[in-house]
Amino acid sequence: MKTILKVLALIGLSFSFCQAFAALNIFACEPEWGALAQEIAGDKAAVYSATTALQDAHRIEARPSLIARIRSADLLVCSGSELEIGWLPLLLTQSGNSRIQRGMPGYLEASQQVARIEIPQVVARSLGDIHPGGNPHIHTDARNIARVAEVLALRLAQLDPQNAVAYKFRSEAFGARWRAAIERWERAGARLKDVPVVVYHRDFSYFIRWMGMREAGSLEPKPGIPPTPAHLAELVEQMKRAPAKVIVYSPYNDPRAAQFLSERTGIPAVMLPYTVGGNEKAKDLFGLFDETIALFLAVMK
Amino acid sequence: MYRRLLCGMAFAVALSAPLASRAQDTELGKIREELRQLKEVYERRIQALEQRLQQSEAKAGKAEEAALQAAVQASSRPAGENAFNPALSVILNGTLGNLKRDPNAYRINGFVPTMGEVSPPPRGLSLGESELVLSASVDHLFRGALIAAIAPGGGIEVEEGYVQTLGLSSGFTIKAGRFFSGVGYQNAVHAHAWDFTDAPLASKAFLGGQLAEDGIQVKWVAPTELYVDLGLELGRGRKFPGVPDGGRSKNGFGSGTLFTHAGGDLGASTAWQLGISHLRTSPQGRGYNDVDSTGTAVNNSFTGRSRLWGIDGILKWAPNGNATSTNLKLQGEYFRRTESGALTYDTQAASLGTQTGSYRSKQSGWYAQGIYQFMPEWRVGYRHDRLNSGTTGIGLVAPGALTAADFPVLGGHNPRRNSVMLDWSPSEFSRWRLQLARDYSRFGVPDNQVFLQYVMSLGAHSAHKF
Ligand SMILES: [Zn+2]
């Protein structure tokens, strides 16, 4: 009798053990927030990233697999500021999940936690596919990630109070490592100050500002509009007058425009990882910035 | 992966416990003691860490925090009455049509006319229906949307107008009002998001072009990694295959629809979805116009039951799931309909006198299409349509009574159509399309159709379903 009770208790325990393991389902719109959630939540959550570094978060299909994932999510972490406007609203209305709707504790818009830049004075489609709430690509400034990490830890504690101590513990440990890394990156990046750079899309604006670099042009004639021959010709002329040091693009961009401009001007074109998984070395958030800065420094020689 | 392994191990331990129960009693006591000590150590460490965290937080300059907060707020969107305005967009479209046969006399021979908007776009230059789309969350529980179609000749029709729950959990969503039915795949897609200028023949023959019901829809998404949904719609039966003139005066429901989908990803590049749907309705006096053997225009009507089954499939491919430069979309639907009941000939007694007899039909149709984006902004597409008028039994067609020539539109015919298109979308908000089609919907010579079309959307960014 006693043995049976013990077995039952153990089975019960292993049930709660398994449940405790995946207490929270986290749905991250972009890989950087998936990686951050993994850092803070550790094994207390199952993290799913809706997109990869090879996909353009501006243009994602509201696929059935994404609806299936968001349906069971307890927390949604997205860049926001209309980056995901073409697909996230649809996922939200189809999810049948009240926990992650706008305004609920399970809805976290990373860009709303930091000061955004490039907020357009005039909002019109003739200016391209601009983001009226400001530039949403906030994660390219590591200091913004530190800020989002703090909010994320609080949100996790709110949603899963049982593990609140663990979240606090992990976020403090991450924060300490991250602050040290920021110091390291800022020291290494000091040489990038005032360096002119041509971007593909304005997805490195926060990094450029953080490092004190200068944006000398963009391959897109207007945000979200693919490069045109006329615009590229103009850039070639412009680079002849005032050459930039480097042309950068993201893994989800078509590399041909950057290569074209590079061939015509002799300015090196570099594919930056942009987010976690963007190249082999950008395996996590630390690797992402190590690699981004290393790639910039490599062309400075 | 590890999680599952650990879970499995935990269960294994639990189940193997009785094998060594006696010997473990003393062992267990020891383990308990060790665990207790471990817990104490950790609790002390966590307390110490919390204290340190609080101290450092307090130290980390309050001023800095305040400055940051101010910056965050300053960069936030302007709030005020205006911020609550619903998302508004307007969709404009127009065509330049060149058709060999008159679109005003269009019909799909072999199939009972739906009296809906099934004709191809007109000859020459014309403005299509303009759409006005308003949507917003009502409060924390509901969302609402209104889509009004403004006809080029004047007159506004509510295309969709529904409220939808946001506050339900467990995968449930309820929609009420007027909405495009979930039967088939393309029916729920707005015309401006179609890949061809006009609807597939199967949609025209079986759903009157596009079926919008007044009713209620309950949809449930299963808690699985594989996408599975189940849906039920109860409607008024206001449109074909129900009654085309707005539904009869009757309590309860005039139509019912069931649908289910499954979908998922195949690797990073491919996504798929399969669906099955069923629509049933009992039309009472569903009228249509025909010209009988004497050459007189007559109105006939059907009363009975109509059952429609549909299967739909969609597959989308893009390299690594990045559809920006190239992508492929394959789509197909198959419908099968049975109708049985009574057919009344010449309801207005304009020709050979009103008569009623039995009616029964079994018909089917399908289409398959592929759209390929071969470079940014440019896509090509091909669509093949086919309908089978199957078997139609008209009781009134009997010796000494009426002949098949009194029901010409119901005469056996297997309509088919081939369409190709090329479109250019300089942004997500505008599209220009050239479409060529050879249409065998009618008896006799095929209709060659050429359309040049534009579709543009102004205002809020619209999101399109998969
Ligand atoms: Zn952007």
* For residues A25-46, average pLDDT: 97
User: Residue B79 carries which DSSP code?
Assistant: P
Q: Please report whether residue B376 resides in a domain.
A: yes
Q: Collect all residues of chain B within an 8 Å Cβ-Cβ radius of residue A65.
A: 225, 227, 263-265, 271
Residue window 422-461, chain B: list those with CB within 8 Å of chain A.
426-429, 458, 461
Ligand 1 center–CA A117 separation, angstroms: 12
* For residues B276-294, average pLDDT: 94
Q: Please report whether residue B150 resides in a domain.
A: yes
Q: Please report whether residue B414 resides in a domain.
A: yes
State the pLDDT confidence band at B81, using cuts at 50, 70 and 90: low
CB B262 within 8 A of CB B227: yes
> Domain residues for B380?
74-459
Find the CB nearest A63 among B74, B171, B271. Answer: B271
Find the CB nearest A56 among B273, B322, B429. Answer: B322
Instruction: Locate A49 and state its tokens.
Output: 């990233």
A56/B324 touch (CB, cutoff 8 Å), yes or no: yes
* For residues B218-246, average pLDDT: 91
Q: Please report whether residue B334 resides in a domain.
A: yes
* For residues B384-390, average pLDDT: 96
B226/A68 touch (CB, cutoff 8 Å), yes or no: yes
Q: Collect all residues of chain B within an 8 Å Cβ-Cβ radius of residue A252.
A: 322, 324
B7/A21 touch (CB, cutoff 8 Å), yes or no: yes
Quote the CA–CA distance of A279 and A154 in Å, as a whole number. Answer: 31
Residue B4 is predicted with a pLDDT of 45
| Torsion on CA atoms A61, A67, A73, A75, rounded to nearest 10 | 30
Query: DSSP readout, A126-164?
Result: GG-S--TT----GGGSHHHHHHHHHHHHHHHHHH-GGGH
Q: Collect all residues of chain A within an 8 Å Cβ-Cβ radius of residue B72.
A: 112-115
Interacting residues of B201 by C-beta distance below 8 A, sequence separation 6+: B108, B365, B367, B385, B386, B387, B415, B416, B417, B441
What number of C-beta contacts closer than 8 Å exist between A and B? 190
Interacting residues of B97 by C-beta distance below 8 A, sequence separation 6+: B103, B120, B121, B122, B123, B124, B126, B449, B450, B451
Q: Which residue has the higher pLDDT, B94 or B117?
A: B94
> Which ranges in chain A are annotated with CATH 3.40.50.1980?
2-184, 191-298
Q: What is the least distance, in Å, from the CA of A167 to any CA of chain B?
A: 11
Q: Please report whether residue B413 resides in a domain.
A: yes
Q: What is the count of structural domains for chain B?
A: 1
* For residues B56-77, average pLDDT: 57
- Looking at the structure, give the CATH architecture of the domain made up of residues A191-298: 3-Layer(aba) Sandwich (3.40)
CATH number for the domain including B189? 2.40.160.10
Residue B44 is predicted with a pLDDT of 65
Quote the CA–CA distance of A158 and A153 in Å, as a whole number. Answer: 9
The CATH classification number of A2-184 equals: 3.40.50.1980
Q: Residue B52 above 80 pLDDT? A: no
Query: Which percentage of chain B shows pLDDT scores above 90?
Result: 69
A68/B222 touch (CB, cutoff 8 Å), yes or no: yes
Note the ipTM here: 0.87
Instruction: Locate A190 and state its tokens.
Output: 């000091």
Instruction: Locate B398 and state its tokens.
Output: 């009997």
Q: Residue B413 above 80 pLDDT? A: yes
B14/A133 touch (CB, cutoff 8 Å), yes or no: no
B14/A14 touch (CB, cutoff 8 Å), yes or no: yes
B321/A54 touch (CB, cutoff 8 Å), yes or no: yes
Chain B: residue whose CA lies nearest to A133: B77
Q: Please report whether residue B226 resides in a domain.
A: yes
Ligand 1 center–CA B56 separation, angstroms: 36
Ligand 1 center–CA A167 separation, angstroms: 31
Residue B75 is predicted with a pLDDT of 60
Long-range contacts of B77-80 (CB under 8 A, 24+ apart): B77/A132, B77/A133
Q: Residue B374 above 50 pLDDT? A: yes
Q: Residue A98 above 60 pLDDT? A: yes
Q: What is the least distance, in Å, from the CA of A6 to any CA of chain B?
A: 8
Which stretches of B376-429 are assigned E, i.e. beta strand?
Answer: 378-394, 416-427
Ligand 1 center–CA A29 separation, angstroms: 14
Q: Please report whether residue B27 resides in a domain.
A: no
Query: Scanning the structure block, which residue is given the tokens 């015919």?
Result: B413
Ligand 1 center–CA A136 separation, angstroms: 6
Chain A: residue whose CA lies nearest to B56: A172
Mean pLDDT for all residues in chain A: 91
B271/A65 touch (CB, cutoff 8 Å), yes or no: yes
B325/A254 touch (CB, cutoff 8 Å), yes or no: yes
Q: Where are the alpha helices (DSSP H) in B17-138?
A: 21-59, 62-74
A21/B323 touch (CB, cutoff 8 Å), yes or no: no
**pLDDT tens sequence across A49-65:** 999 999 999 999 999 99
Ligand 1 center–CA A47 separation, angstroms: 24
